[in-house]
């Protein structure tokens, strides 16, 4: 009797690229921290995608963990190499190492948490065309709020309102980080706040939009045993997406929503 054929291991599933994007201070970083604390089984499966960045580290940021912090000229040089994608992000240069990303995808799921410029590049780069993706956009306003604000009789300048919403969040976050603010801090806040409206236009390209009023400035993320308010709802929706379940409160935005 012939011996049975040797057992073959099941083919490994290609890594999935999980993209979490949104304007600066919308709540992406505290969402990741809450995921690590309360759902470590999911967070462990997500290899972080670490980009190059020309800006200075914020308080608490670590080189090689949050970004590879390099001088602007170094990152400009990366743009001459087709293995890198270099983008101007709100005045800073950021670079993506495609070889590093490919290697990580070969080992499992990869997680990008960051701005919509890089998030969109990860969706559209031809070298990533066959990569499975989960794309999530965090927004500081819900779709029905935007529809309400856009009613002609209200005569509201939506761009100015979005800028002010994000300016307030950014001011609170930066004051908590640094105390007294310098002119450079204020200029950086204004640049990020002014960019938020145009960044919301990317939301229609993401499979899921999670409205979240509890930005990075909100104590609802970490002042209590579990995230409360929108922070808690956003975390629950993101976990549902990671698990392949329908996420409560997730939206789909049409391109015409942000004129």
Q: Is residue 52 classed as helix, strand or coil in its secondary structure?
A: strand
Place of tokens 């989960």: 134
The pLDDT value given to residue 13: 52
Q: Is 56 exposed, middle or buried (0-12, 13-18, 19+ CB in 10 A)?
A: exposed
Topology of domain 17-48+108-257 in CATH is: Rossmann fold (3.40.50)
Beta strand 68-69 with 208-211: parallel, antiparallel or unpaired?
A: unpaired
Q: How far apart are CA 123 and CA 132, in angstroms?
A: 10
CB 191, CB 91: distance < 8 Å: yes
Average pLDDT value over all residues in the chain: 93
The pLDDT value given to residue 167: 98
pLDDT bracket for residue 34 (50, 70, 90): very high
Q: Tens of pLDDT along 53-90? A: 999 998 889 999 899 999 999 999 999 999 999 999 98
**Helix H segments across the chain?**
28-38, 40-43, 72-78, 98-107, 116-124, 143-149, 158-178, 183-200, 229-242
Order of all β-strands in the sheet with 110-114: 47-48, 110-114, 17-21, 133-139, 208-211
CB 171, CB 192: distance < 8 Å: no
pLDDT surpasses 80 at 12: no
**Largest Cα–Cα separation, the chain:** 85
pLDDT surpasses 90 at 3: no
- The strand pairing partners of 110, in sequence order, are 17, 47
Whether the pTM exceeds 0.85: the reply is: yes
Q: Phi first, then psi: give them for residue 162, nearest 5 degrees.
A: -60, -45
The number of C-alpha atoms within 13 Å of 146 and in the hemisphere containing its C-beta is 20
- Closest among 257, 211, 215 to 238, alpha carbons compared: 211
Q: Is residue 50 classed as helix, strand or coil in its secondary structure?
A: coil
Domain ranges of the chain: 17-48+108-257
- The strand pairing partners of 96, in sequence order, are 85
pLDDT surpasses 80 at 7: no
Q: Tens of pLDDT along 129-149? A: 899 999 999 999 999 999 999
pLDDT bracket for residue 39 (50, 70, 90): very high
Q: How far apart are CA 210 and CA 235, in angstroms?
A: 10
The pLDDT value given to residue 47: 95
């Amino acid at each position: 009797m012939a011996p049975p054929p040797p057992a073959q291991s099941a083919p490994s599933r290609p890594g999935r690229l999980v993209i979490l994007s949104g304007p600066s201070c919308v709540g992406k970083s505290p969402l990741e921290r809450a995921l690590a604390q309360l759902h470590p089984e999911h967070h462990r499966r997500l290899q972080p995608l670490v980009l190059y960045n020309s800006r200075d580290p914020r308080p608490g940021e670590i080189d090689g963990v949050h970004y590879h912090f390099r001088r602007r000229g170094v990152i400009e040089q990366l743009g001459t190499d087709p293995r890198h994608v270099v983008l101007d992000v709100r005045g800073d240069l950021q670079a993506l190492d495609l070889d590093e990303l490919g290697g990580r995808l070969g080992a499992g799921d990869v997680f990008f948490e960051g701005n919509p410029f890089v998030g969109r590049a990860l969706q559209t780069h031809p070298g990533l065309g066959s990569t499975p993706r989960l794309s999530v956009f965090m927004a500081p306003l819900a779709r029905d709020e935007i529809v309400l604000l856009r009613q002609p009789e209200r005569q509201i300048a939506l761009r100015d309102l979005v800028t002010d919403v994000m300016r307030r969040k950014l001011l609170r976050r930066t004051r908590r980080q640094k105390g007294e603010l310098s002119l450079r801090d204020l200029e950086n806040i204004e640049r990020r706040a002014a960019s938020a409206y145009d960044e919301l236009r990317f939301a229609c390209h993401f499979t899921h939009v999670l409205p979240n009023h509890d930005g990075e400035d909100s104590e609802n993320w970490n002042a209590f045993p579990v995230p409360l308010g929108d922070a808690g709802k956003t975390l629950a929706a993101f976990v549902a997406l990671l698990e392949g379940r329908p996420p409560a409160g997730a939206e789909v935005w049409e391109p015409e929503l942000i004129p």
